[in-house]
Homo-oligomer: A and B are copies of this chain.
Amino acid sequence: MNKERSTEVDTEKIKKAVVMLLEGIGEDPDREGLLETPDRIAKMYEEICGGMTVDAKEHLSKVFTVDSDEMVVERDIHFYSMCEHHMLPFFGKVHIAYIPKGEVVGLSKLARTVEVYARRLQLQERMTAQIADAIMDCLNPAGVMVVCEAEHLCMTMRGVKKPGTKTVNVVTRGVFSGNDSLQNSFFNLLSIR
């Protein structure tokens, strides 16, 4: 959860890299449609990698005291991330369940935590684990479970080319680990349409 990058995006370096990339693929960086592409992409990476300079703790530190130990579920948190292997987008939904021990966070803060870890070059499994770990560390709940389902463009638009394929993974921490009954309670809440 530490900041993983202290320096800002190096706009000039990205612009130079994009011109070189365009030349490398056989394009003409000076044709009209591409003239502003290096600038746009430099600006874009500030947004797409914006999570690298944010500490999830910033979002998860403001807690509310509650009297309940009932499962809290936030489902269908849409996210967009970038696959670190191909620098192509992967995107889908994250579902989070946690069982508080007297403290909860604002609902938007769970979605903000997803953003922090989605907005960088990622692997789906790592992102899911980072979200679970951030919630465990900051909120100290009895347990957390995070489910992520995503479509990877590196699998649909190229390579093995399987449009519609989804990768689903699950991370459990604390009381959720090895507890089928708790896990099923969460899956039941996810299956309500």
Contact = CB atoms under 8 A, between A and B. Distances in A.
A86 to B, nearest CB: 6
Contacts of A42: 24
A53 B26 CA distance: 10
Given A41-B86, A85-B40, A24 B20 contact: no
A17 B23 CA distance: 10
A136 interface: no
Nearest to A156: B80
Nearest to A46: B25
Query: Which of A22, A24, A85, A87 has the most CB atoms of chain B within a 10 A radius of its CB?
Result: A24
B26 A10 contact: yes
Interface in A98-131: 121, 123
A139 interface: no
Interface residues of A, number: 52
A125 B163 CA distance: 23
Contact of A34 (B8, B21, B121, B153): B121
Given A20-B13, A24-B10, A84 B33 contact: yes
B87 A88 contact: no
A23 B91 CA distance: 24
Interface in A26-72: 26-27, 33-34, 36-37, 40-42, 44-45, 47-49, 52-53
Contact of A24 (B9, B37, B52, B80): B9
B86 A33 contact: no
19 contacts: A9-B25, A20-B20, A21-B87, A22-B121, A26-B52, A33-B84, A33-B85, A34-B84, A34-B121, A36-B85, A37-B86, A41-B87, A48-B157, A48-B158, A78-B163, A80-B153, A88-B89, A91-B156, A91-B157
